Structure 1
Amino acid sequence: MTDLTLNDGRSMPQLGMGTWQIPDSQAAAIVRSGLDIGFRLVDTAAIYDNERGVGDGYKGSDAFLTTKLWNDRQGDPEAAMDESLALLGVESVDLYLMHWPVPKQDKFVDAWKAMIALRDAGKTKSIGVSNFLPEHIDAIVAATGVTPAVNQIELHPNFQQREQRAYHDAHGIVTQSWSPLGQGKTLLQDPAIVRVADKHGRSAAQVILAWHLANGFSVIPKASDAEHLADNFAALDLTLDEWDMAAIEALDDPAGRLGPEPNAM
């Protein structure tokens, strides 16, 4: 497992397990399975409504733990963080992300200032953002001098966000991919992906995750059972060649976004 160095001097495992859409009642068992398989990063969020279950599964672990500030709590991040910590059953998390900028609220700069204070108080070790465009990051850095350690964005072979990634690289921000396999089976059945998978005798999911890893992204695929968790984890020992990478790079579509556009939230 490769660790990525954050701009605050800490490190973060490159491959993690996402928990979006995993019910609270099932989250503990799935998180425990993932940790047993070898995952060392667990990603959740207040809006997922599964922090209690994630915390139950995480209990006793020293894995890297991430949760997120939801949009309607940008006015009181400290209270929101305390609620998340209580549900998770921990005194601090490794990474706290602002889930969306929601520029129409005009609160994200003040929320970032509050998150800096939460980091300084020891409630989170690192802070970052999710779904922020360069203009949003420029605004919070101009106001505080503090650059996010991570920006978690929608990123998959059909929506590769090259300009956003270049901005992250120029500012020392780790790119973390959400929805890394796309949504649904379309990407997993793409002929180019299937050809690479057949060539290596691997699953389509492993090929896509190996592409993320080869590009240096942190990646947090969701899996709802131990079999899929193990399949995702096996991407760590898959090496793609130049032909494989080029075939996947060719799938990029500027209109391939599946989730909301950040300024529309």
Structure 2
Amino acid sequence: MKTVLIIGIGAGDPEYLTVQAVNALNRADVFFLLDKGADKETLVDFRREICRRYIRDRDYRFVDAASPEWDRRSEAYRSTIDTLNSDKQALFERLIGEGMADGECGAFLVWGDPALYDSTIRIVEAIARNGASMDGRDGAPAIDYEVIPGITAPQALAAKHRVPLNRIGGSFAVTTGRRIAEEFPADLDSVVVMLDSKDAYRRYVDQDIDIYWGAYIGTPDEILIAGKLKDVAEEIARTRAEAREAHGWIMDTYLMRRNDPPEE
């Protein structure tokens, strides 16, 4: 039996790792690192750094592989993601099959928390459910797996801006740029937006909304902007474009909060 750990490593600061995550790091024999290209080398370097910082008195190794590519401009979003996850599943099966011996423990280090806008749990669960043997013995269970939670980008964003995510007694939603571009949920006053590649917040500049935006949260490159959306929207868009140009990638999150909350 092989054991796979899906470890949430937080949203950018090595000190965001929980005690449980540190203990999990110290169980792993092998860490699988997905290379997403030269622009995102810092994300791989971060994973290596937390291993160096937190693993004590044990040998471990890294297995690197190129992450499957996908067309982010595709209009057929769901089918594109299904294809991406299928490609990732084939890759994960190969990594687990070839990169681990029976009885060993391997780990995927997931940015933020594995349960929020990440497919690693789904992919590993599918491998385990299919029951395909990783060592060639028909009928042998492939793997067992565990999930270790991490600090999410919305949590880190709220802490950095020193604001709660919800009003007293109120609800909030976590959604995507694609969704918020369509509508602001009618029954909510607070929305956290992730994966917004097109500055969808600009749609709401004519409304009385506060925005709390952050990029590269927890890293030395962290950028924070907050204020009335109508006043800071263009500053965010400009800063975001400059940061993407400088780094080759951007990872940002924001909270929008109406000041005229919907009627109960």
Question: Which TM-score applies when normalising by structure 2?
Answer: 0.29
- Indicate the structure whose relative CO is greater, using CA pairs within 8 Å and at least 6 residues apart: 2
Question: Which TM-score applies when normalising by structure 1?
Answer: 0.29
Q: Which has the higher strand share?
A: 2
